[in-house]
Amino acid sequence: MIADAAAKLGIDVPVYCYHEALGPLGACRMCLVQVEKMPKLATACTTAVSEGMVVHTRGPAVDKGRKGVLEFLLINHPLDCPVCDKGGECFLQDYTFQYGPPAGRFEEPKIQKVKDGPINEFILVDQERCVLCQRCVRFMGEYVGEPQLLLEGRGVETVVTTVDHEPATSQFSGNVIDLCPVGALLSVPYHHKARPWNIEREESVCTLCPVGCTTLATGRDGHIVRIEGRPVPDRSWGWLCDRGRFGFDFAVNPSRLITSYLEGREEAAARTTRQVGQWLRDAVSQHGGNSVAFVAGGLHSTEEAYQLNRFAREVVGTERLAVSRDVPGYLPRGLNGTFADIDDADAVVLIGTDPYESVPVVHLRLRDRARALPSLKLMGVAPRSLSRETLRVDTLVTHVGQEAAVLAAALSDAARGHAVLAELVSNGLGDLSGIDGEALAELGSTLVNSEHLTVLWDGLEADVEPVLVALQSVRGDKPTRVLPTWGPSNWRGFERAGFDARIESLTGILEDARDGKLQMLVLWGADLLREYPDQELVRQAYARVPVLVAESLFPPAGHESFKAILPQAGPGEVYGTYVNMEARLQVAMPSVQPPGQARPTKTYVTAWARAMEKPFVLQEDWDPYDDNSGDLVPEESVPREVRPIAPASSAPDGYELITGVLVIENGIPSDFLKPRVPQYPGRISPSDADRLGIRNQAVIKLSREGREMTAAVAVDPAMTPGRIYMPLGLADAPVNALGTGAVNVTVIEEVHSA
């Protein structure tokens, strides 16, 4: 299109309705240009360029056309720019200034419409300011596949509104604020908060899930007041999910730590820091460096992990370093793909993970691909169906713990006789009865025969790793790329900084702590009771280790066990790079100061080095980037050995507890998002609910061998029968207290919906 060609050449063509991701529409007529040999002005967004075409993007005819369009757009516009949040960031202002008429000729009263009406909890619509470009409507309907906005009425009465005038529920709704070229769609948290000259807008990244979406953070008077999407040319459209866009208020949440706690009492952070330094010194001098272990987690940057790593190794002299993990899987760097592998794929296989819930914006990327390539093979292997209205996934539904075996069976079938497979299944495949043979064959052929295979994996089953390694070796030169969907969002960055991200390191530390072999355990943003897959082990470790210290944004679960808790400086408060699920390094510039006594890692570790009287200089210039791999973490070759997987155990008779990441429930509190957090986060299928006598929602008890947990569940028609789903990491219903797999279910209380 002419509009794209002009943009590429840096020539300005004004557009409202056109957006490359949405495709041409030709609704607003703002983009008029003059094409030689065409009788009338043409819309640049709908006219394809052709050989020899001569286009004038300015000139008397073009300017007159644009002037006319703007005069029409402004006929009923309320001209209330002084009280509009978009004032100064608005294309209606900009284009009117550039091309518009100085005054309109229309003197009749303006039509009045709804101002500041609700789209949902986060978005307001000012129908008077709307230029009816339809970006918002088309984004929700065509791009997201959740058609919750519409144009209602005709002619000058047309307005943007929601279906049945009910709040829009899509988790991608906030993007329409960025898309709206004028001040018609506004952010509720930012409403009447600032003018462009009051704010600092810094390039940042969202750290709330492993996608690491690129953002702009708006700071005013020391607070972040807005997060916007930041498009990166040729890489990302700049979409965000509502979790990332509106969840920024965690930084000022009342539960945020801004002072420290020493032996349970509130204390000035400086004193607590000194005391921890003393403990470190005692532990090292009496028991040696390896009596102290460090676990990195949470929302720390790569630099902070690096500083902690150097302090631990050089000053404390310990090798006991691990990353906090909530799932046991690990992905070798060599297999790690990028989002471009989604755009190039002819087959995508989802293992365990539902991208809509675990890595929301990747769901949009997958939809984008599925729309561009209707023949895209999209398959899933998981203990529940992964298919949704917005993305059809052929799911091979397994029982808990069978994913690796099912994948291996499919692979062995399709690539019979491959040496690496003999090794992989040398312990047998186990009991896979009930798995449909035809579906298995289709999965096998997709795995083996696709040209460009991209896999998304939730890491819940560690044995999938050797299967992926074997798969890569079977496929040889054909790309086999994997995107890990688990957290902590910067785990690859911690690895880059020198921490071992495999769960075995963490398990080793916890076992040693439980066995009394550790003197001191320092948790850096890690909240292990909530995260580590076996809560009991963490409990025992906490109870036994003499000195338990945490540095964190929020008080960790079981905070009574901690001798000291220090406040952490969060993302957006210090400069840092974060590595996302593509193994891509991205910079987040600080836009505000850390609140209260929260300090960056560097402050703590330098203070402790001084307390321990060891020389320790942190180079300012450590740079996680690499000359050869650019903004990706350096490539590594894929391991060759394949460890045999454990055979699948038989399907249990009764219910199975299953889990997965739900980004909205990932433990980082937000008042803005509260209305969106489900009150009954668990899910049960209608047929199981029937059997248990549950109509809508209920509180149920799940138990196995003396352990139990209560869960608030709601009936979900999309849920696979026989499974009870609970999101991972809920404070009041911790799946890690029980573990996934067979459970007994009893109904405690049925709750009738209002």
379 binds another protein (CB under 8 A): no
Min separation Cβ 30 and ligand FES, Å: 5
**Residue 237 CB, nearest approach to ligand FES (Å):** 17
Alpha-carbon distance of 481 to 346, in angstroms, equals: 12
Rounded to a whole number of angstroms, the minimum distance from the CB of residue 138 to another protein is: 11
Residues near 565 by Cβ (< 8 Å), separated by ≥ 6?
Answer: 257, 260, 261, 272, 549, 550, 551, 552, 555, 556, 559
Nearer to ligand FES, 153 or 434 (CB): 153
Pairwise CA distance, residues 483 & 470, whole Å = 16
Q: How far apart are CA 292 and CA 313, in angstroms?
A: 10
Stretch that binds ligand FES, among 10-18, 495-503, 573-581, 700-708 (CB under 6 A): 10-18
Q: x/- contact string, 178-207, with ligand SF4 (CB under 6 A)?
A: -xx-x-xx--------------------x-
Nearer to ligand FES, 25 or 718 (CB): 25
Q: Is 157 in the site for another protein (CB under 8 A)?
A: yes
Kindly write out the interface string for residues 113-152 of this chain, putting x where it contacts another protein by CB under 8 A and - elsewhere.
----------------------------x-----xxxxxx
For position 407 contacting ligand SF4 by CB under 6 A, the verdict is no
The DSSP-derived string for 620-631 is TT----BTTTBT
Q: Which listed option, ligand SF4, another protein, ligand FES, none, makes contact with residue 43 (CB within 5 to 8 Å by class)?
A: ligand FES
Select the binding partner of residue 27 from ligand FES, another protein, ligand SF4, none (C-beta < 5 to 8 A, by kind).
Answer: ligand FES
The item of ligand SF4, ligand FES, another protein, none sharing an interface with residue 132, based on CB under 5 to 8 Å by kind, is ligand SF4
Residue 468 CA to residue 642 CA, distance in Å, equals 9
Cis ω for the linkage preceding 488 (within 30 of 0): yes
**Residue 213 contacts ligand SF4 per CB under 6 A:** yes
Distance CA 723, CA 735 (A): 14
- How near is the Cβ of 30 to ligand SF4 at its closest, in Å? 11
Non-local CB neighbours of 248 within 8 Å, separated by 6+ positions: 217, 224, 226, 227, 572, 670
The least distance separating ligand FES from the CB of residue 552, rounded to whole angstroms, comes to 48
Does 258 bind another protein (CB under 8 A)? Our answer is no
- Judged by beta carbon, residue 163 or residue 589, the one nearer another protein is 163
156 binds another protein (CB under 8 A): yes
Q: How far is the CB of 70 from another protein (least distance, A)?
A: 19
Q: Is 663 in the site for ligand SF4 (CB under 6 A)?
A: yes
Q: How many residues bind another protein (CB under 8 A)?
A: 14
**104-111 long-range contacts, CB within 8 A, separation 24+:** 104/71, 104/74, 104/75, 105/71, 106/71, 106/75, 110/75, 110/76, 110/77, 110/78, 111/76, 111/156, 111/157
Which residues have CB under 8 Å from 307's CB, separation 6+? 601, 602, 605, 618
Q: Please, which of residues 103-142 interact with ligand SF4 by CB under 6 A?
A: 130-136
Q: Among another protein, ligand FES, ligand SF4, none, what binds residue 213 when CB lies within 5 to 8 Å by partner kind?
A: ligand SF4
Q: How far is the CB of 493 from ligand SF4 (least distance, A)?
A: 14
Which 3 state secondary structure label does DSSP give 321? strand
What is the CB-side half-sphere exposure of residue 484 using CA atoms within 13 A? 32
Determine if 670 is a binding residue for ligand SF4 (CB under 6 A).
no
What is d(CA 365, CA 376) in angstroms, rounded to the nearest whole number? Answer: 13
Query: For residues 138 and 502, which CB has a smaller minimum distance to another protein in the complex?
Result: 138
Is there binding between residue 361 and ligand SF4 (CB under 6 A)? yes
Binding part of the chain for ligand SF4, among 211-219, 422-430, 525-533, 712-720 by CB under 6 A, reads 211-219
What does 148 interact with, of ligand FES, ligand SF4, another protein, none (CB < 5 to 8 A by kind)?
A: another protein
Q: Per the structure block, which two tokens stand in for 469?
A: 């390694």
φ, ψ of residue 566 in degrees (nearest 5): -115, 145
* Three-state DSSP state, 93: helix
Count of other CB atoms within 10 angstroms of residue 157: 10
The tokens describing 647, both together, are: 């055979």
Residue 241 sits in the site that holds ligand SF4 (CB under 6 A): yes
User: Residue 328 carries which DSSP code?
Assistant: -
Q: Is the Cα dihedral 82, 83, 88, 90 positive or negative?
A: negative
Rg (CA), the chain: 28
CA distance 585 to 711: 38
Residue 154 or residue 416: which is nearer to another protein going by CB? 154
Provide the minimum distance between the beta carbon of 22 and another protein in the complex, in angstroms, as a whole number.
Answer: 16
Q: How many residues does the chain have?
A: 754
Confirm or reject binding of residue 208 to ligand SF4 (CB under 6 A).
Answer: yes
CB 724 within 8 A of CB 683: yes
The token pair that represents 504 in the structure block? 């075995």
Q: How far apart are CA 449 and CA 415, in angstroms?
A: 10
Residue 96 DSSP SS3? helix
How would you classify residue 445: left for phi > 0, otherwise alpha for psi between -120 and 50, otherwise beta? alpha
Residue among 133 and 564 whose Cβ is closer to ligand FES? 133
Question: Of these partners, another protein, ligand FES, ligand SF4, none, which one is at the site of residue 163 (CB under 5 to 8 Å by kind)?
Answer: another protein
Q: How many CB atoms lie within 10 A of CB 51?
A: 4
132 or 509: CB nearest ligand FES: 132
Sequence-distant (≥ 6) Cβ neighbours of residue 308 within 8 angstroms: 294, 296, 300, 497, 524, 601, 605
Looking at the Cβ atoms of 211 and 415, the one nearer to ligand SF4 is 211
- Over the window 14 to 53, marking each residue x when it contacts ligand FES by CB under 6 A and - when it does not, the resulting string is -xxxx-------xxxxxx-----------x-x--------
Q: Which residues bind ligand SF4 (CB under 6 A)?
A: 130-136, 160, 179-180, 182, 184-185, 206, 208-209, 211-213, 240-241, 243-244, 359-361, 663
Q: Which residues bind ligand FES (CB under 6 A)?
A: 15-18, 26-31, 43, 45
Q: Which residues bind another protein (CB under 8 A)?
A: 141, 147-157, 163-164
